């Protein structure tokens, strides 16, 4: 299918390769001289509706990485991309080479070609070697008085043993060390909070790369403080995204309902938006309570667990105007997942409404399994070694994030394909994990051997909590 930039804008997120765009190129490097030619996208790496599409493309038998800018400010973003690419090249940052630039054939969009790297690997933010390699590239950028305005681990690639920086659009000038330190902190804040323990090592590599002057201006303590600030900002921004239409979420709002859905599940769960009660009735009941009902359902071969927040009275309906348990649970689940806590991240939230009055609400989660930690250890105490490390790691992530669960019953730890997954996050809030650990140990008070084993396994975490009071 062939598109013009206005056609791409009309398609929005639902852009599926392959597709073709006619372009006219100005030569940079060894591509052909300026003339109209076809650009055939074979993959889509990212779509920003109304603004940009990027991905691998074929041009005259050669594979390139292309960015096509369109929309009202296409010229501005295209120029910013080119300016960033030139700045990185001038600073001798290892980055894919700029091959060509130009415009769409109708003049309404602008395009940039880069060298397509082979055998490319995304970096992992849980791999300290990858993090330190990216940190060294950041240090070189900062030495050139440049920062990545939206720095994250996926702005760096590994190819045949070499590390590359990408995303020239995010390159900005920054001359103050404090700006550089904040940029480093922004990068590190996207790791799970438990990895803040690596700050000493990262700062050592960063300061050694930049020299004595920077070492005197900054410190591990300063970077750690900036990381906490940046992480709070990131959480606030992300939780706002979970309430609106964006790349990750679909929002459908009417007089009768408000429906938020993970875009990856939207096709399957559209029917749930309209026939929630019918689908609940067809499911398998897991809990039939006054305040909530939990049911397991299946949609197109995919299992889900639905929690319905019931209305017990007219007064209860009025209270829902001020305390929205389902909305809080939706936010809490995404908050935990965003910070790397292994949980059944909710995929849809349905709030039935009558105008501004909120009625019965439904939270849809992936079905991660039916066996919980209590059931398994009661039947197989010897399985302790298999699950203890994962459970303690999950609690360490919670503690490092400064969050408490509020109800650490053994039934809220579900075992899913050798994972330990935390569920029932209605009561999650900021706070110390001390009471949660005490509640967790009460699960095993009638089984002395298990209680002792858990006490020993959790001892380092309890020491950590005491040291952070």
**pLDDT tens-digit readout, 327-346:** 999 999 999 999 999 999 99
Domains 120-241 and 249-366 equal at CATH topology level? no
Secondary element (H or E) of residue 241: helix 220-241
Q: What is the pLDDT of residue 34?
A: 56
- Calpha distance 428→319 (Å, rounded): 20
Which CATH architecture is the domain 249-366 placed in?
2-Layer Sandwich (3.30)
Cβ 30 vs Cβ 44: under 8 Å: no
Q: What is the pLDDT of residue 12?
A: 80
12-46 burial by CB neighbour count: b if 16+ within 10 A, else e?
A: eeebeeebebebebeebeebeeeeebebbbeebee
Q: What is the pLDDT of residue 422?
A: 97
Q: What is the pLDDT of residue 321?
A: 57
Q: What is the pLDDT of residue 318?
A: 56
Residues 6 or more apart whose CB falls under 8 angstroms from that of 374 comprise 409, 410, 411, 413, 443
Neighbours of 130 (CB within 10 A): 18
Give the residues of the chain that fall short of pLDDT 50: 29-32
Question: Domain extents for the chain?
Answer: 2-115, 120-241, 249-366, 373-467
Which CATH architecture is the domain 120-241 placed in?
Orthogonal Bundle (1.10)
Q: What is the pLDDT of residue 30?
A: 45
Torsion sign across C-alpha atoms 434, 435, 436, 442:
positive
* CATH class in words for 373-467: mainly alpha
Q: What is the pLDDT of residue 31?
A: 44
Q: What is the pLDDT of residue 29?
A: 44
CA nearest to 155, candidates 89, 213, 105, 95: 95
Cβ 171 vs Cβ 149: under 8 Å: yes
Which CATH architecture is the domain 2-115 placed in?
2-Layer Sandwich (3.30)
Q: What is the pLDDT of residue 418?
A: 84
- Here the contacts of 77-82 (C-beta below 8 Å, separation 24 or greater) are 77/51, 77/52, 77/169, 78/110, 78/111, 78/112, 80/169, 81/112, 81/168, 81/169, 82/112, 82/168
């Amino acid at each position: 299918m062939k598109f013009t930039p206005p056609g791409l804008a009309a398609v929005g997120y639902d852009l599926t390769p392959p597709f073709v765009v006619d372009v006219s190129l100005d030569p940079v490097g060894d591509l052909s001289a300026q003339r109209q030619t076809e650009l055939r996208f074979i993959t889509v790496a990212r779509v920003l509706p109304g603004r940009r599409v990027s991905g691998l493309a074929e041009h005259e038998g050669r594979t390139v990485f292309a960015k096509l800018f369109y929309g009202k400010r296409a010229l501005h973003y295209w120029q910013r991309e080119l300016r960033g690419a030139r700045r990185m090249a001038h600073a001798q940052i290892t980055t894919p080479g700029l091959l060509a630039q130009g415009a769409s054939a109708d003049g309404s969009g602008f395009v940039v070609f880069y060298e397509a790297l082979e055998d490319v690997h995304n970096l992992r933010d849980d791999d300290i070697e990858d993090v330190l390699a990216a940190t060294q590239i950041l240090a070189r950028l900062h030495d050139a008085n440049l920062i990545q305005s939206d720095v994250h681990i996926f702005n760096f690639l590994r190819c045949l043993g070499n590390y590359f920086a990408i995303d020239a659009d995010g390159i900005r000038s920054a001359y103050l060390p404090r700006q550089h330190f904040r940029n480093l902190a922004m990068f590190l804040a996207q790791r799970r909070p438990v990895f803040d323990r690596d700050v000493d090592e990262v700062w050592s590599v960063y300061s050694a790369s930049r020299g004595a002057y920077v070492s005197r201006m900054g410190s591990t303590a300063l970077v750690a403080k900036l990381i906490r600030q940046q992480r709070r900002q990131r959480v606030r921004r992300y939780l706002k995204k979970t309430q609106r239409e964006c790349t990750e979420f679909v929002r459908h709002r009417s007089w009768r309902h408000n429906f938020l859905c993970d875009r990856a599940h939207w096709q399957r769960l559209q029917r749930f938006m309209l026939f929630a009660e019918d689908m609940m009735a067809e499911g398998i009941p897991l809990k039939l309570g006054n305040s909530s009902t939990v049911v397991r359902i299946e949609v197109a071969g995919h299992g889900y667990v639905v929690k319905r927040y019931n209305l017990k009275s007219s007064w209860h309906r009025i209270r829902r105007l001020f305390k929205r348990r389902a909305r809080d649970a939706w936010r809490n689940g995404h908050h935990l997942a965003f910070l790397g806590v292994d949980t059944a991240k909710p995929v849809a939230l349905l709030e039935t409404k009558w105008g501004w009055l909120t009625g019965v609400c439904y939270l849809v989660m992936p079905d991660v399994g039916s066996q919980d930690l209590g059931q398994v250890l009661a039947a197989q105490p010897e399985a302790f070694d298999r699950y203890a490390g994962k459970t303690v790691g999950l609690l360490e992530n919670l503690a490092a994030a400064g969050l408490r669960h509020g109800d650490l019953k053994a039934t809220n730890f579900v075992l899913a394909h050798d994972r330990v997954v935390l569920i029932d996050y209605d009561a999650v809030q900021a706070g110390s994990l001390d009471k949660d650990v005490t509640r967790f140990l009460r699960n095993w008070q009638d089984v002395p051997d298990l209680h002792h084993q858990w006490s020993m396994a959790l001892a380092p975490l309890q020491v950590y909590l005491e040291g952070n009071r």
